[in-house]
Amino acid sequence: MNEFLQPTDQRPAATRVADGEDRFGEHRGLGISSISFKVSASDSNGLFILENTFRQKGGPALHLHYGQDEWFYIIEGEFIFEVGREKFLLKPGDSLLAPRLVPHVWAYTGGTRGRILITFMPAGKMEAFFREVTKANAMPPQDPELWRSHGMELLGPPLTLE
């Protein structure tokens, strides 16, 4: 048998997460939105994917990642992004890569609901960051040390939406 088809550890061959569900069956709130873990770093070789569902407009503060590339895929609603000096309006089906070390900020523009898939590669401390900040059911605090301790640099406020 081909050596690449042989299991190499105790991970399952596949991990299914149903629509609207979290990988671990947990609820994680960020005040204006909720997140569901879809792929954990422990499921993969360092990939972390979450789904962020918004009920109100807004998004995270301006920041950068020291060691993670961050990829976004819009499922529902419209989102505005600033990556480096570039600005984008993303709609369902659009995707965007924010490379590590490049400042970025983004926000859901409002409406009924917004949904976005966010992928971090490698996962680094992102899963731990979201476990920590969702305890308060609010957007991540503007605490530079919290961000730095999870491999990011907090650079400024969230986008202002009218």
- pLDDT tens-place values along the chain, 162 residues long: 445 555 555 667 788 999 989 999 999 999 999 999 999 998 888 999 999 999 999 999 999 999 999 999 999 999 999 999 999 999 999 999 999 999 999 999 999 999 999 999 999 999 999 999 999 999 999 999 999 999 999 999 999 987
Here the tokens at position 10 are: 């105790």
Here the tokens at position 52 are: 């962020």
Taking the C-alpha atoms of residue 25 and residue 99, their distance in angstroms, rounded to an integer, is 30
Sheet holding 104-108, edge to edge: 86-90, 79-83, 104-108, 61-65, 152-158
Here the tokens at position 7 are: 């299991």
Q: Which fold has domain 26-154?
A: Jelly Rolls (2.60.120)
Taking the C-alpha atoms of residue 93 and residue 74, their distance in angstroms, rounded to an integer, is 6
- Assessment of whether the complete model's pTM goes beyond 0.75: yes
